[in-house]
Amino acid sequence: MSGFAPVIKWSGSKRSQANQIVSFAPNKFNCYYEPFVGGGSVLYALNPRKGICGDICEPLVGLWNQIKDSPEKTVIAYELRWTRLQEEGYQVFNEIRDNFNLTHDPADLLFLSRTCVNGLIRFNSKGEFNNTFHHTRPGIHPERFKKIIFDWSHKVQGLSFVCKDYRETTGTARKGDLIYLDPPYFHTKGRYYGKIDYDEFVNFLEELNKKGIKFMLSLDGVRGDDDFTMPLPKELYKRHVFISSGNSSFKKVMNKESLVVNESLYLNY
């Protein structure tokens, strides 16, 4: 069991795996880095004393900073949108989605993540939010959500959130630090915000090894009978383990199938 409630529902969430992943973390490290922060499940489970977390999705980073610095305002913004939805109906969702695609307001993103179909955050090639309203779910009640937001706000007080790519976010990392990497998976292009170049990413991992910086890397694994593991150069890591993530929710939604998923975790220590 994950043991905690998510504050941001993000594609590729590691909530079901977070405790397993953290069990492989070093007992001691200096600064924690997470350059593909997404929904932040691993940072919650690890609860580092200090760290730098980043993402290229500017409204997501803006939302994390709001949760950290202004939890009460974050709650109020959600409650205003949620109340309008209950009183005026699904058109409010469409209006807020349109506004987000124009302004990239982090408060809009939080509301959309809690009221879209199956909580699946999707962006089109233009970076526009394009999932629809989940008509049978009213969204989490603001009073319940308030406790979750304040819990997360407390958890992330020692962290900085930046809108940068993974190389810039980890640019100050040194030997003794720990980096957790959860990049967009290579076999699921189009479902996540942004993409990365395989060769550039491999070079980045090589540099981390040269500097003696420890990393944990989540990547493609096995889904049912399909093996999506990447041909990652073996000299880059010392251990490759599979982490159970239960059943594939995406497959279940799209094809009414339920397949067991085991994702890769690579460790260079």
pLDDT of 252 over the 60 cut? no
Task: Compute the distance between CA of residue 184 and CA of residue 193 in angstroms, rounded to an integer.
Answer: 8
pLDDT per residue over 63-79, tens digit each? Answer: 999 999 999 999 999 99
Domain range list for the chain: 18-56+164-267, 67-153
Tokens read off for 40: 């932040």
What distance lies between CA 233 and its chain's CA centroid? Answer: 25
Tokens read off for 111: 């509301």
Average the pLDDT over 17-29 and give the result: 97
- pTM value is 0.90
pLDDT value of position 1: 43
Partners of 227 in the β-ladder: 222
CATH dotted code for 18-56+164-267:
3.40.50.150
pLDDT per residue over 125-173, tens digit each? Answer: 888 999 999 999 889 999 999 999 999 999 999 999 999 999 999 999 9
Task: Compute the distance between CA of residue 251 and CA of residue 100 in angstroms, rounded to an integer.
Answer: 27
Q: How confident is the model at residue 188 (pLDDT cuts 50, 70, 90)?
A: low
Average the pLDDT over 46-72 and give the result: 97
Residue 121 and residue 11 in contact, taking contact as beta carbons nearer than 8 Å? yes
The least confident of 7-21, 50-64, 198-212, 245-259 is 245-259
Of residues 189 and 202, the one with the higher pLDDT is 202
pLDDT of 16 over the 70 cut? yes
Third-level CATH fold of 67-153: Adenine-specific Methyltransferase; domain 2 (1.10.1020)
SS3 label, residue 216: strand
